Amino acid sequence: MLNMYLPTQNTYFKFRSRFNFSSHRYDIGRPLFSNRKLEDNFFLLKIYEIGETEYGLFYDYQLGFYLEANLEEEELFFNHVFDIVLNRIRHFKRQDPFSSKYASGLEQTRKLEAFLAFLKTIDRWHKVEPLESVIGEKDKLIDQLQERVAELELLLKQVREFDANEKIVITNGYIAAFMNLIEQVQGLSLGDKKLTTSQGQSPWYKMIAKYFMHGDKPISIDTAKNYFPANKKDKPSKYLNISEEDKLFKIVPKDKK
C-alpha cells in the first residue's frame, strides 16, 4: 500500500526537510508537512517573509536547486517564477476593496511588485518587457547619445579655433625672467583701474602652459602654477620664487621714463 504521506517530487523549488527546524533560510515549506503540489504558494510566502535585499540570494538559491536536475533550463525557471508572481499580483488587484483580506493583499502586492522589479534586472529573455519595447528604449538612448556627440563635436570645434599651430618659445634659461614680466603686467594700473584683472591665477598659468615653451621643452601646468600662488601673502612650499638676478626687465609707464 502506498504511504499517503510520502512526498511527491516538487518540480521547481527546494522544500525544507520534514522535522527540520533549522533548515536553510531560503528553503520553502513547513517543518512538519507541506503539500508539495502547492509549491508556488510556498515560494510566494517566502517572498513575503524576506526583505528586498535578499531577493537575489533567494532566487539564486532556488535556481541552483532547479538546475541540478534541469541543466540549461534557466529560462524556463525564470518564466515560471515570473508567471506565478504576475498572476498573484493580478489576483490581489481583483479583490474587492471592501473585503477583510484587501488590506493584507495590498502589502503582499507591494512585495510581489518589488520582486517583479528585481526580476526585470535579471531578465535576459525579455519576458518582463517585450523585445520591441527594449529595442525602442535602446533606439531612444542611441538618439540621445548621438545628439550629445554632435554637441560635443561642436564644442570641440569651437575650442580648437583657439589652438595655435605652434607655441611661443621662451629662450632657454629665461623662464623666470618671463614670469617676472607676467607678474609685473598683473600689477600695472591705469589711474585707479588695473590694466588686467582676473578672479584667480589659473588663467595666467594655464595660458602659459598652453601657448609657451621653455627652449625646446613644454611647460607643464604644474610648473607654471608654481609661479602664481593663489594667495601671494601665503605662498605654498612649491612656490617658485624669482630671484633678483632673474628680474631682467622693468615695465614702467611711458610718462615716467
Where are any strands of DSSP class E within 99-231?
Answer: 168-170, 189-190, 193-194, 212-214, 217-218
Q: How far is CA 256 from CA 188, 189, 194, 238, 253, in A?
A: 13, 13, 17, 36, 5
Q: Which of 48, 49, 44 is nearest to 62 (CA)?
A: 44
**Distance from the Cα of residue 110 to its chain's centroid:** 27
What pLDDT, on the 0 to 100 scale, is given for residue 2? 38
DSSP 3-state of 189: strand
What pLDDT, on the 0 to 100 scale, is given for residue 74? 94
What pLDDT, on the 0 to 100 scale, is given for residue 62? 96
**103's grid cell:** 488590506
What pLDDT, on the 0 to 100 scale, is given for residue 131? 52
**27's grid cell:** 528553503
What pLDDT, on the 0 to 100 scale, is given for residue 101? 76
What pLDDT, on the 0 to 100 scale, is given for residue 32? 79
**92's grid cell:** 490581489
Domain ranges in the chain are 36-128, 131-163, 168-256
The residue count of the chain comes to 257
**Distance from the Cα of residue 154 to its chain's centroid:** 26
Q: pLDDT truncated to tens, each residue of the chain (257 aa)?
A: 334 333 444 589 999 888 777 789 999 988 877 788 899 999 999 999 999 999 999 999 999 999 999 988 999 999 999 999 999 999 988 888 877 777 778 889 999 999 999 999 999 988 877 655 656 677 788 888 888 998 999 888 888 887 888 899 999 999 999 999 999 999 898 888 899 998 889 999 999 999 999 999 999 999 999 998 887 777 777 888 889 999 999 998 887 66
CA 119/CA 78 separation, integer angstroms: 8
Q: Which residue has the cell 609657451?
A: 212
Single pTM value for the model? 0.49
Q: Which of 51, 48, 56 is nearest to 108 (CA)?
A: 48
